[in-house]
Structure 1
Amino acid sequence: MILAIDGSISHTNAGDSAQFDARMLSHLETHTLATETSVTDGLNHFEGFLLRDLLEWVGADGEQVVATALNDYIVEIPLDDFYQYDVLVATHMDGEALTPRDKGPLWIIYPRSDHTELQDIRYDYRWVWQLNGLTVE
């Protein structure tokens, strides 16, 4: 299991949560995104799935998600972000699979280069690397 989702969701597979391994997540449609980040150099190419697709898959119904990471980082993200922007959960960067040593296996990526408003530091806090949990509230 690399990602658990709980809270206000209607589709679960482990008690009150939905738990996913990499194979399960690979069934979501793959998207690519080229963007700069505040923590890497230059333009990077990311591959993964849209966060809104995952939330729809589990029947999320709320106003925000609380995202948690392997390193105990926690941040609240408005659900509107995922519908206003093509926010990606990246599994690969520049053709390489993300690993826990390098921000993986899952990293929330915003299309920062496509929207000047996303270059605000408030959005930088929402780029959760080593993502391992979402709670829908």
Structure 2
Amino acid sequence: MLRHWVFALILLVSGIAVAPFAIAGDAGEPVVLTVTGNVAHPNRGALDPFDDAVFAHLDVKFDKGFTFTLADLKALPQQTAKAKYNEWPREVTATGPSLADVLKAAGAEGKKILVQAIDGYAPEFTADDVARGKLILAVEADGKPLAMGGRGPLWLFGPRDSFADQQDEEGFAFAVIRIDVQ
């Protein structure tokens, strides 16, 4: 860690420009989301079958991506949405960045957006669905951080009419780990 700071200081003093995007996770925070596909400014390279064991297990392949830590996602503008679906015991209030803002931060554009959970569930959305601005990538619900083993750390969430042809809560993936944009 100290080496990174010394190197950065040397670069700063010598006037050498540093790349505009640091690789998420370099500061010790784990990556919680990887955006793949049409990413204009990637901050990571291709899938590594060993290091990206879950992606490899899910048969995911990519040649570049943009990664986010939880802090990166919390630094984006936050939105709050409320929803109560038929099978839920109560209304839930969730907070996180809009899916549109996450894609914008990653420099990702496309007509087809696939949001993949850690279990492989991967609902697909259109650019028009995302442009509605109702889909958020929740990092907390009812004022509490989302945890692994529950719906977290990231939960694709939104109120009724969040996307075209929405059927109750169908399409809201929890334990989201990847977004693929084509």
- Shorter-chain TM-score category? 0.7 to 0.9
Deviation track 1:76-111 (CA, whole Å, cap 9, x = no partner) reads 211211112421111111111111211111011122
State the TM-score, normalizing by the size of structure 2.
0.67
Query: What SS does the aligned partner of 2:131 have?
Result: helix
Matches within 5 A, 1:118-137: 120-121=166-167, 124-137=169-182
State the aligned residue count: 134
* Larger gyration radius, structure 1 or structure 2: 2
In structure 2, the gaps of 5 or more residues are: 1-30, 46-63
Does the alignment pair 1:107 with 2:137? no
Query: What SS does the aligned partner of 2:34 have?
Result: strand
Q: How far is the alpha carbon of 1:135 from its aligned partner?
A: 0.7
Query: What SS does the aligned partner of 1:14 have?
Result: coil
RMSD: 2.0
Equivalent pair of 1:45/1:93 in contact (CA under 8 Å): yes
Structure 2 match to 1:2: 32
Which 4+ residue blocks in structure 1 deviate beyond 3 angstroms? 115-120
Kindly indicate whether structure 1 or structure 2 has the higher relative contact order, using CA contacts under 8 Å at least 6 residues apart. 1
Equivalent pair of 2:132/2:162 in contact (CA under 8 Å): no
In structure 1, the gaps of 5 or more residues are: none
State the TM-score, normalizing by the size of structure 1.
0.87
Aligned-residue identity in percent: 24
Q: How far is the alpha carbon of 1:38 from its aligned partner?
A: 4.6
Distance 1:46 1:25 in 2: 14
Whose strand fraction is larger, Structure 1's or Structure 2's? Answer: 1
| Aligned counterpart for 2:81 among listed residues 17, 23, 33 | 33
Structure 1 match to 2:48: none
